[in-house]
Amino acid sequence: MVAHRLFAVVVISASAFGIAACSAEVAEVAPLEVADAAAGYADALPAPHPLLDAGHDAREAATPLPPDASKPDPVPPAAVVTCMDAKPYVEEKCVPVTVKGWPYPAQRCTYGSPIGALTVDVANPSASRVAIWILSAARAVPAVAQLEKSDPAHFLVAMQIMAVDVSYQSGRIFPLKGIIGEDMSGSHYIGYPFTDGVADNCPSGEPHAYCRINSLTRGMYCDYRGAHGLETVAACRARVGYAQGDTQAWYSECVGNHLASWSSPDNPHFVEKLWALLHGAGVTTASTGAQVVAALYSELGLKASDVASFCK
């Protein structure tokens, strides 16, 4: 997997941040043309997604879930939080907004881009919350969990790599609806419509339709569920529309997971991606901390210099 780069705020070097829309290999899927971007926020938005209607299983009650008092938040390492504490580039001019079916705080943000002002409604988690999710995921995947006591230095680096991946892939931005500007090629800035954390109009095939904020693919999601006896891989793929472009079921899974994880110390998508990356690289509990870290660097297309740059 390749780490994607983009411009931030108005125009910054394409190597500064990154965010995946549909795919690293397909950089011009369903672009929002400059004329559309200038036409106005309402005109650029996709039609309301059925998931936003009350009654859908992912947002049935449309009320905040109370924190689980039996499972308090762990304290995330400051050295992980700092890897993601840059302000999300879309948060240039924001106002609070109520989004139907989303019970937690959200913002409508307008930000400058090379193709004009773009607007997006976001539910961006804090860097601390994401660091908690990363810590919980690291403790949930045995190959990494065992390092917490046996090799704490590599345990920390593994979490920092995951945090840098979030910074590159999404910058902690979870688009509920609206336009995300990206320059995945380094020379062509495009506005992509998003709904419920997934880019709209992604093509068929995999890996496409990445789910924010850690760019989970349906392949990773289903491989994890199959390996852990939650459902068969085939049933999972059929349910979420594997290789079928963007599907309502994948929208539902993406935003439903974000909603359920919002005030929780656990985010299943982080566990699923970490497990899938290491499983694909052949990492087991017999692997050393150095091997775990090397696998994560390789699978995510990152380098030690990326961690050094983001995690100052």
Encoding tokens for residue 289?
């901390």
- For residue 57, the model assigns a pLDDT of 40
Query: What's CA 287's distance to the chain center, in Å?
Result: 27
CA distance 251 to 51: 8
User: How far is residue 150 from each of residues 21, 154, 155, 167, 287, measured CA to CA in Å?
Assistant: 38, 9, 9, 28, 12
CA distance 182 to 134: 25
Encoding tokens for residue 126?
């804090």
- Percentages helix, strand, coil for the chain, rounded to the nearest 5? 40, 10, 45
Amino acid 116 reads: G
pTM above 0.85, yes or no: no
Closest to 255 (Cα-Cα) out of 87, 110, 122: 122
User: How far is residue 200 from each of residues 7, 51, 135, 234, measured CA to CA in Å?
Assistant: 20, 14, 31, 24
Task: Report the DSSP beta bridge partners of residue 190.
Answer: 182
Residue with tokens 């891989």: 233
Confirm if 179 and 168 have CB atoms less than 8 A apart: no
Confirm if 169 and 6 have CB atoms less than 8 A apart: no
CA distance 59 to 62: 5
**Angle made by CA atoms 260, 258, 123, in degrees to the nearest 5:** 120
CA distance 218 to 234: 12
The one-digit pLDDT tens for each residue of the chain (312 residues) are 333 323 232 222 333 344 456 654 333 334 444 333 333 333 333 333 333 333 334 444 445 555 565 678 899 999 999 999 999 999 999 999 999 889 999 999 999 999 999 999 999 999 999 999 999 999 999 999 999 999 999 999 999 999 999 999 999 999 999 999 887 777 788 898 999 999 988 777 777 789 999 999 999 999 999 999 999 999 999 999 998 887 899 999 999 999 999 999 999 999 999 999 999 999 999 999 999 999 999 999 999 999 999 998
- For residue 203, the model assigns a pLDDT of 76
CA distance 221 to 114: 34
Helices (runs of H) and strands (runs of E) counted in the chain: 13, 6
Ramachandran region, residue 186 (left: φ > 0; alpha: ψ -120 to 50; beta: rest) = left
Closest to 106 (Cα-Cα) out of 231, 288, 236, 259: 259
